[in-house]
Amino acid sequence: MVHPSILSPVTRHAPLSAAILGGLRDVEEIFANQLRSDLPAVNELAHHVERYRGKMLRPTLLLLSGMAARGSEDGAVLNKAHRTAAAVAEMIHMATLVHDDVLDEADTRRRGRTVNSLRGNETAVMLGDWLISNAFHLCSLIGDPAVNVLFGETTNTLCEGELLQLSRREDPSLDELTYMQIVRRKTAALVSSCCSIGARLSGASELVQDSLGKYGEFTGCAFQIQDDVLDLAGEEALVGKTLGRDLEKGKTTLPVIMLLRQATPWERSEVLSIIHNRDGAALLERLRLSGALDEAKATAIQLVESAKSALESIPHGVAKDLLCELADEVVRREA
């Protein structure tokens, strides 16, 4: 089932709502069919990982971008290639979630147990690899080599972003520029590709494809910043996954970068001691008192405004309006 919160703007607009939600149901069916195996043990894991589907943000943006690129409001422009590409994107995304849970030693995802906590890291790593393999098998059925190339380049970029972040763990000197490079690669790249691929499959011009790709990049960056804020200040019952993992795993995220940047030498020493001791409560108090949390949120909001500005060349209509509303929802969400 589709997570209702971030997609609430879509449900308020019919018949566009029917087109998107119907498309997402088709995506779920394509997803399930692709992952069906003749091995019961594999099917059991595939069924478990289906619980990782939540917001369906990436498939939604791919379908909505396909409509916005042509000013469509009834979904007539969407075809099987759009739905297949949306399933590919979600499969790639879910593979990264399975692998992330291994890296972060997380126990909870979508309010349920992670694969690594249930079956161990070996099974989780192989399951993530299997999802990636299935994604590219499915992608080959679209019949557009350019889509294969773009998804391949994007997956390379995701891995590079994770490797860059791993190389800077336990590094409080991480600067905002490098942080944003990590975010653009590990999160925003796939969101951007979904938007541009949706436009391409609708036969849009390169200008429109590029504009929607930029929209996706800015929105993806804002999404990750909000995720990092929630990891520090969110409620686990609302977010639905293990929180505090960034601090535990030595990841320096934007709120902490901003806190350290404004700190006096003495304050910096205290904050570094808090980080070293993995004292999440004390760190959160410092972040709130300093205004660093609000500053990070403000950066996410600025990125959303840039995302909406990138849509200037997109035909006016409900689909374009919904892209703007979804970008706003990215920074409003609490889960």
Convert the pLDDT of each residue in 172-229 to its tens digit.
999 999 999 999 999 999 999 999 999 999 999 999 999 999 999 999 999 999 999 9
Q: Which residues contact 217 (CB under 8 A, 6 or more apart)?
A: 184, 188, 189, 191, 192, 307
Under DSSP, the state recorded for 109 is E
Tell whether 3 is covered by a domain: no
- The answer to whether 139 and 148 have CB atoms below 8 angstroms apart is yes
3-state class (DSSP) for residue 259: helix
Question: What is the tally of structural domains in the chain?
Answer: 1
CA angle 240, 128, 120 (to 5 degrees): 75
Q: Which pLDDT value is given to residue 2?
A: 45
Question: 16, 335, 69, 44: which is closest to 198 by C-alpha?
Answer: 69
Q: Tell whether omega for the bond before 265 is within 30 degrees of 0, i.e. cis.
A: no
Q: Looking at residue 249, what DSSP letter applies?
A: T
pLDDT at res. 7: 62
Is 18 inside a domain boundary?
yes
Q: Tell me how far CA of residue 130 lies from CA of 80, 98, 211, in angstroms.
A: 23, 11, 33
Is position 2 within any domain? no
C-alpha to C-alpha distance for 287 and 69, rounded to whole angstroms:
41
CA-to-CA dists, residue 232 to 131, 235, 335, angstroms: 29, 9, 13
Question: Which residues, in sequence order, are CB contacts of 320 under 8 Å at separation 6+?
Answer: 68, 71, 311, 314
- Per-residue tokens: 188: 């925003």
**Is residue 277 classed as helix, strand or coil in its secondary structure?**
coil
Residue 201 lies in a domain: yes
Q: Is residue 113 included in any domain, yes or no? A: yes
Q: What is the CATH number of the domain that holds 55?
A: 1.10.600.10
193 lies in which domain range?
8-332
DSSP state of 168: T
**Residue 271 counted as domain residue:** yes
3-state secondary structure of 307: helix
CB 323 within 8 A of CB 64: yes
Return d(Cα 261, Cα 295) in angstroms, integer: 12
Query: What are 34's two structure tokens?
Result: 């692709």
Partners of residue 108 on adjacent β-strands: 113
In a domain, 110, yes or no: yes
Query: How remote is the C-alpha of 297 from its chain's centroid?
Result: 17
- Measured CA to CA, the distance from residue 280 to residue 265 in angstroms comes to 21
Q: Splitting the chain (335 residues) into consecutive groups of 10 residues, what average pLDDT does each group show? A: 56 77 94 94 89 85 96 91 97 93 82 86 93 96 96 97 94 96 97 98 97 98 96 73 82 96 95 95 95 96 98 93 93 82
pLDDT at 238: 61
In a domain, 31, yes or no: yes
Residue with tokens 């091995």: 39
Its sign, for the CA torsion 117, 121, 127, 131, is: positive
Which pLDDT belongs to residue 12? 66
Q: Which residues contact 17 (CB under 8 A, 6 or more apart)?
A: 10, 11
Q: For residue 9, give both structure tokens.
A: 């703007």
Token output for 11? 């449900």
